A and B are shown apart, each in its own frame.
Chain A
Amino acid sequence: MAKHIQTIVKANLSSTVKTGGCGKCQTSCQSACKTSCTVGNQVCVK
């Protein structure tokens, strides 16, 4: 077990460049002044 670093989330975002882009996600709003969410707050619907 690592002594100095504890990994909490292992993710592989870069790989979604190849697997993503289906466009089925709900609309997001960067200003978040509306009903839809900001991209960072979104979940993938795939």
Chain B
Amino acid sequence: MLDLLSNNEYLVKKNVHSYRQGDLFIAHDVNSGSLHILDEDTYEVLKAIEELQEASKQVNEEGIRQLLWQSGNQLTVEELSEIVEELGELRQQGTLFSREAEQVLPAYPEKPIVKAICLHVAHDCNLRCKYCFAETGAFGGSRSMMDLETGKKGIDFVLDLSGHRNHCEVDFFGGEPLLNFGLIRSLVEYGRKAAADRNKTIKFTLTTNGILLNDKIQEYLEQEDISVVLSLDGRPEVHDRMRPFSDGRGSYAKVTPLIKQFAAKRPESSPYALGTYYYVRGTYTHYNPDFDQDVLHMADLGIDQISVEPVVASPEAPYAFQEGDLEKICEAYDRLGEELLSRRGQDKEFNFFHFNVALDQGPCMIKRLSGCGAGHEYVAISPEGDLYPCHQFVGQEDYKLGSLYAENPNQLKEELVKSFRSAHIYKKPLCRECWARFACSGGCHAANVSFTKSLTDVYTLGCELQKKRLEVALYLKIKEIQHNHNPLSLA
């Protein structure tokens, strides 16, 4: 078995991620998606194999034992042979040291199939969040509202371009979309009818800061089965520092009761964002690398679907991550994983979005290679009807895909579509060598462009955070499976 690893054609570090998390030694077989628990000796054997490969040395039992002995592990010849034999059996089964699939790229039709749009119904906001990529709602332009004609054209656009796909998605976004609630009502009514006329359905979602989430609007969102993402950063002082009103007052006291009230209406929300759901999402920054405390604060409020993500900011911003933050952030993910475990089946149990990972029911390889589909499957529409690859690119002239008011609104700028379609894992040098490539799909295009000015070079801090989240997520997956087989195992 080991001779197969000697010619460096198959790099273990790239294809099998072995690591320690909590009380477990874990091996994740990247190409098959399989997951194993190792004993400590086996973990050290895998690390020794990696080390030998990195030094371009022969991978054999003698070399492995030498390295182990240097680190104080006096594994016997018999024990090592036993481990190598087990590794070989798993290789035979295809669950360890599995080969990378042949490079099959997504086969796209010439004309893009757009199945989701982000409708920027309001380029204005009632908050002045300091980290807002939309520059507090205006996206670098003037404050404006989408009108009914543009909104309807947007709905027609996605129904037209979705081709044979029967399920379309429309997200109401801003700025703060509830500043244009009247339009949302009109477009939901119009969209449902227009979709039904074509034997299609539209799934509507809304992303809101919660300021205007009064009883009437809550009732409407319930009636219409609209999924909702609500913004809350966590502890009052953390939230208020970054999410003030225009007069500087913090918004925590205003939004928290409303968000709690709405969350309580949807106790069965899917952690995988299926069906009609809610999520409360926040952003952490340099100011709160102990963001696990913010997640727990929200969980203690009774909010059970939580997503808190790292800020993406230019390095000169005072809230941008600095040297030294990464270690603290990783520790926070570790603590959060353990706390999530300890609350399973208990009061104040919660789901943390980035720790959800569907291994055997997860997306196919093609989806994993191609990522989010921005710029060809997903398009953002500004209040003026301009089309962009996603909400984060809105207002950036170089990334304008077209306009709903163009002579042919369904004609997207070909070069841009092509560049987004081809920004897949195999085009990103760092991703090709990364063990997390099939879980992260190359990261966020907008973050990559913002930091590297390129769609194929990646934002490396984002990579480190993604890998850490995935390590904890896989650990929790194992714990969940162990618990389901033996419910007392976590007691």
**Is B274's CB within 8 Å of the partner chain A?**
yes
Residues of B within 8 A of A3 (CB): 39, 82, 86
* Cα A46 to Cα B363 with chains together (Å): 9
**Is B63's CB within 8 Å of the partner chain A?**
no
Segment of B5-13, B26-34, B53-61, B137-145 engaged in the interface with chain A = B26-34
- B477 lies within 8 A of A4 (CB): no
Interface residues of A in 1-35 (CB under 8 A from B): 2-35
- A40 lies within 8 A of B106 (CB): no
- A26 lies within 8 A of B203 (CB): yes
Q: List 8 A-B contacts (CB under 8 A).
A: A2-B89, A11-B34, A17-B104, A25-B367, A26-B167, A27-B372, A30-B443, A32-B353
B interface residue count range (under 10 / 10 to 19 / 20 to 34 / 35 or more): 35 or more
**Is B362's CB within 8 Å of the partner chain A?**
yes
Other A-B contacts than A39-B441, A40-B362, 18 sampled, CB-CB below 8 A, are A4-B82, A5-B42, A7-B95, A8-B482, A12-B94, A14-B99, A20-B364, A20-B365, A22-B364, A27-B377, A34-B118, A34-B391, A39-B367, A39-B368, A40-B441, A41-B356, A41-B358, A44-B362
> Taking each of B363, B373, B439, which has the highest tally of chain A beta carbons within 10 Å of its own beta carbon?
B363
- A26 lies within 8 A of B273 (CB): yes
- A17 lies within 8 A of B171 (CB): no
In the complex with contacts A26-B169, A42-B363, A33-B309 CB distance below 8 A:
yes
> Taking each of A9, A16, A30, A32, which has the highest tally of chain B beta carbons within 10 Å of its own beta carbon?
A30
Which single residue of chain A is at the shortest CB-CB distance from B94? Answer: A12
Distance in angstroms from B306 CB to nearest chain A CB is 12
Q: How many residues on the A side are at the interface (Cβ–Cβ under 8 A)?
A: 44
- A20 lies within 8 A of B441 (CB): no
Segment of B66-74, B246-254, B444-452 engaged in the interface with chain A = B444-452
- B372 lies within 8 A of A7 (CB): no
- B42 lies within 8 A of A42 (CB): no
Which single residue of chain B is at the shortest CB-CB distance from A9? Answer: B35
Distance in angstroms from A43 CB to nearest chain B CB is 4
> Taking each of B27, B38, B102, B367, which has the highest tally of chain A beta carbons within 10 Å of its own beta carbon?
B367
- A13 lies within 8 A of B354 (CB): no
- B115 lies within 8 A of A27 (CB): yes
The 4 nearest A-B residue pairs measured at CB:
A20-B364, A11-B33, A40-B439, A21-B366
